Amino acid sequence: MKVLVLNSGSSSIKFQLFAVATWRAIAAGAVSRIGEDEGEVSYRWTDPQGHSRTDETRLPIPNHRDGIERIVAGLQAGGVLADLSELAAIGHRVVHGGERFQRPTLVDDAVVEAIRDMIPLAPLHNPANLDGIEVARTLFPGVPSVAVFDTAFHQTMPSTAYRYAIPEYLYLKHRVRRYGFHGTSHQYVGERAAAVLGKPFDRCNLITLHLGNGASATAIRAGRSIDTSMGMTPLEGLVMGTRCGDLDPAILFYTAEQLGLDNQALDDLLNRQSGLLGLCGVNDMREIHRLAAEGDDRAELAIAITARRIRKYIGAYYAELGRVDAIVFTGGIGENDAEVRHRACAGLENLGIALDDSANLSADRGERAISAAHSQVKILVIPTNEELAIARQALAAVGGG
């Protein structure tokens, strides 16, 4: 049996195919530049003889339907999917599940409508996610589709964490509240951290830090999210590649008035021109370190602000949790950037948080502890694997696994 995972964006579809027996990804790739003059389909897969293969084709891909047809045709041509009946489920990443979806959900017509109803909350993401779901249901009616929501894990937050101090009707009538995102990743690394600690997840208190181009922190008490840094949208919280994170909301009125910006321009300013990019002109953390090492003050400041914001959330979530078993770093920066990890944990020794510098700097990959032996709070690096988590949850939702 196999599970296909689809992550449909507005102009791309990423996919991975998992063999249930081993939970290995036997094929992965992406269709990109959908709707443009020239699109691209790229695959990596392991052929039945066990050899790694790659393939890249450039051709116009007019729409998501064509994209998904090509993905499946390619999997069949590569010999990794002999027949559609091998697919136990298709797991779809869906960004926003609002308050309605608290767990991965088998898709039927009512679920499609409910995801559509969430479009105002995630106007960029949910329409593309829905496109992928509808195409898959039309093309492969015999294969169950499961929606796995980025927001679902955070639905356990108490109202004290998810409500904003603004008039109540904005929540009741307009659904304005904190939802949080990256939930699949926070849950996955949390569960892996529990395994590394040798404790059941539902007895672990954790601070999970997903630090990539998008970034968020989550406080997990007894295996459940009780607070997270992203808000009604993914804009709030930590400093990100191009998103500002926490901000005085009055900056919006001021900037709109001073620069004559409309809503769209403000959205672009805070979502696509801010964060690391806004601070130093570059959004790739590796490049920012290179610039800082050459003496670029703006790059140095961008790293310092990023790390300070992370440390602030560690402190805040420590206070909320009272007792913390482990701090978990994940995402492109969390997994690879020893300097940011070092700065984020610096000065927290009195809270029982102490890094082992050589473990932190080591070139090891994979799940590992980087805390000093005397650190009360373990510090872990756990590579995230959202696709694997989606595949497992999709199978569980159809009664397998």
Q: What is the DSSP string of 151-207?
A: SGGGGG--HHHH--SS-HHHHHTT--S---S-HHHHHHHHHHHHHHHTS-GGG--EE
Distance of alpha carbon 247 from alpha carbon 244, whole angstroms: 7
**How many angstroms separate the CA atoms of 234 and 241, rounded?**
12
- What is the smallest separation between the CB atom of 208 and ligand AMP, expressed in angstroms? 14
User: Please, what is the minimum distance in Å from the beta carbon of residue 283 to ligand AMP?
Assistant: 6
Q: Is 275 in the site for ligand AMP (CB under 6 A)?
A: no
Of 131, 150, 227, 325, which residue is the catalytic one?
Answer: 150
**Binding to ligand AMP (CB under 6 A): which residues in 35-54?**
none
Residue carrying the six token digits 């339907």: 65
Tell me the C-alpha distance between 310 and 196, whole Å: 23
Does 127 sit near ligand AMP (CB under 6 A)? no
Query: Considering only 98-106, 154-162, 333-341, 355-363, which stretch makes contact with ligand AMP by CB under 6 A?
Result: 333-341
Q: Which one of residues 333, 345, 348, 354 is an interface residue with ligand AMP (CB under 6 A)?
A: 333
58, 174, 203, 286: which one binds ligand AMP (CB under 6 A)? 286
Residue with token string 């009195």:
350
Q: How far is the CB of 239 from ligand AMP (least distance, A)?
A: 11
Q: Does 285 bind ligand AMP (CB under 6 A)?
A: yes
Asked if 117 interacts with ligand AMP (CB under 6 A), we say: no
Q: Which stretch in 282-290, 298-306, 341-349, 370-378 sits in contact with ligand AMP by CB under 6 A?
A: 282-290
Count of beta carbons in the 10 Å neighbourhood of residue 295: 8
Q: Is 336 in the site for ligand AMP (CB under 6 A)?
A: yes
- Whether 150 is a known active-site residue: answer yes
Instruction: Establish if 231 lies at the interface with ligand AMP (CB under 6 A).
Output: no
- The residue among 18 and 329 lying less far from ligand AMP, judged by its C-beta, is 329
Question: Are the CB atoms for 204 and 239 separated by under 8 Å?
Answer: no
334 Cβ contact list (under 8 Å, min separation 6): 209, 210, 211, 212, 340, 341, 381
Binding residue for ligand AMP, selected from 212, 237, 245, 275, defined by CB under 6 A: 212
Helices and strands per DSSP (H, E), number in the chain: 15, 14
Query: What amino acid positions are annotated as catalytic residues?
Result: 150
- Give the binding site for ligand AMP (CB under 6 A): 212-213, 241, 284-286, 331-333, 336-337
